[in-house]
Structure 1
Amino acid sequence: MLARPLPQPRPREPSQSPTPLSEGWPDGVARFVLASIGSTNAEGLRLAPTLSGPAWILTLDQTAGRGRRGRGWTMPAGNFAGTLVTRPKGGLAVAAQLSFVAALALYDALAQAAGPSVRLAIKWPNDVLLNGGKVAGILLESAGTASEQPAVAVGIGINLAAAPPPELVEPGAVLPVSVLGESGFAVPPEDFLDLLAPAFARWQHQLETFGFAPIRTAWLQRAARLGEVIIARTGGTETEGVFEGIDEAGALVLMTAEGRKVIPAADVYFQGAR
């Protein structure tokens, strides 16, 4: 069957999630479900000029997913691959902060989907951890310039049913886990979207109404390894230091042997990672 966007937001069916939905689908947000697609981010940016408002794009089979720095993203059957296409108020400066909004929304949705027995944390810059393992990743891409209101694709991949094989993981990186493996709950991707979409809308409203400060505070309350020694790697350069937090722009702040350092972009590694 050919994959194609549905012409109207898809009617939702009763959720089979382990916890009941606390919020309805956000007003004015479209919903498309694809049988198969190469990349939901690419499809979202392709559709962006035709959309009258935000839209979630979910696929049941993503064949060419990717993560940060062009890395591949493996999607076993039953996992979540989705993208929110939106035009945030404030242009590219605010658009970059949507990764923190996405992380908070994922945290809330996973807390509902996986139940109270699991441990959740957010890993800078764009991962969510479940019981110490990586369960979700976020990738932001945009189409537009600083002089206009850009279309932003907030790509989200979640190991709902299965984790990728450990041999596909970069050495030293946090090993992947799945919601099913850690909690015992089987959560269909479309049901998870019912949890994620309203959570994202709520946090995005916070960002656009009150600015980044409350987002930063909430993010730090959920941050993994805060106050511990971590390693930030940018290209061939490694910086080790105590993770003090993030600054007002979302950059990583480390206290190193040479003093405090602010790092806008890097890959983060933990000592003794799962």
Structure 2
Amino acid sequence: MLGESARAAGYRLIVRDEVASTMEEARRALGEGDPGLLWIVAKSQNAGRGRHGRHWGSPPGNLYASLLLVAPCEPALAPQLGFVAGLALHDAAAAVTGLSAPALALKWPNDLLISGAKTSGLLLEGENRTGRFNVVIGFGVNIASSPEGTPYPATHLSAHAAEANVERLLAALSDAWHKRFSAWSLPGGFGPIRAAWLERAAYLSETITMRLPEGPVSGRFLGLDASGRLELEAAGGRRLIDAGDLYFGDRT
């Protein structure tokens, strides 16, 4: 069930036993004329995906959710919603587990970490349809289990708080999203979102490696610029990075 403030604000929830992916279910709802503010949650997925089309394993007991937003902003501002979603997820995980920064941290651009181990990922996709720009945000959160044999450390919420489950996290996440999105929607709202995100950022001021289409680039993670691009102090000078994979040592 969604949180109380989310329901009061008009957010709705659909729960499916199994789907190919909640992202595709959200797109289908959009095509059928859904007005948005719709959470779609599945107990399992058989074709879940993450960034760059990577497969996202979907065993039972974890959260697989997508949020459909109809005309939430201009296309140029859509990447900022990834930071809003990351903060909401951090808020929700903190509420469910009792953890806080720096143990609970956000890795640019879209991962939640617990003590450096990946706990969740976000996927944000936008599209123009019927003259409006729409956004779907996918949330995949390890709650009951985490994958093994990954090239990076992984963990799950119940390993840190036995009472963590899908229902508690979804209620906390939907309320936290409503609160953060409402704040972002105010004039100049990305400034406070950016500041709050940086307070929870993993590897800030440390040396990182960004894997970019042209190859890896290493440097010191300085922060975010006013639009959310990563600021990197590299050998050739300061760089602003719109998209890429952030690595720290042997961890991803």
TM-score (norm 2): 0.92
- In structure 1, what is the equivalent of residue 223 of structure 2? 245
Give the aligned CA root-mean-square deviation in angstroms.
Answer: 2.1
Q: Identify unmatched segments of 5+ residues in structure 1.
A: 1-11, 14-20
State the partner residue of 2:192. 214
| SS class of match (2:186) | helix
2:72 and 2:134 mapped to 1: Cα distance?
11
Partner of 2:93: 110
Q: Is the contact between residue 45 and residue 152 of structure 1 (CA under 8 Å) also seen in structure 2?
A: no
- Unmatched 5+ stretches in structure 2: none
Structure 2 equivalent of residue 184 of structure 1: 161
What is the number of residues matched between the two proteins?
A: 249
Tell me the residue number matched to 2:107: 123
Could you tell me which of 198, 201, 205 is aligned with 2:178?
Answer: 201
Q: In structure 2, which of residues 7, 14, 18 is the aligned counterpart of residue 36 of structure 1?
A: 18
**Following superposition of structure 1 onto structure 2, how do residues 23-102 of structure 1 map, counting pairs within 5 Å?**
23=5, 25-49=7-31, 50-102=33-85
The structure with the greater share of residues assigned to strand is: 2
CA distance in 1, matches of 2:209, 2:8: 38
- More divergent stretch after superposition (112-121 vs 56-65): 112-121
Whole-Å separation in 2 of the counterparts to 1:24 and 1:66: 26
- For residue 160 of structure 1, what is the amino acid of its counterpart? I
Deviation at 1:186, TM superposition (A): 3.7
User: Which SS does the other structure have where 1:25 is aligned?
Assistant: helix
- Aligned ranges 1:129-144 → 2 under 5 Å: 129-144=113-128
Task: Provide the secondary structure at the position in 2 that maps to 1:61.
Answer: strand
The residue correspondences of 1:146-161 to structure 2 (distance < 5 A) are 148-161=131-144
Deviations 1:96-120 (A, max 9, x none): 2111011000000000111247820
Aligned to 2:240: 262
Structure 1 runs of 4+ off > 4 angstroms?
A: 21-24
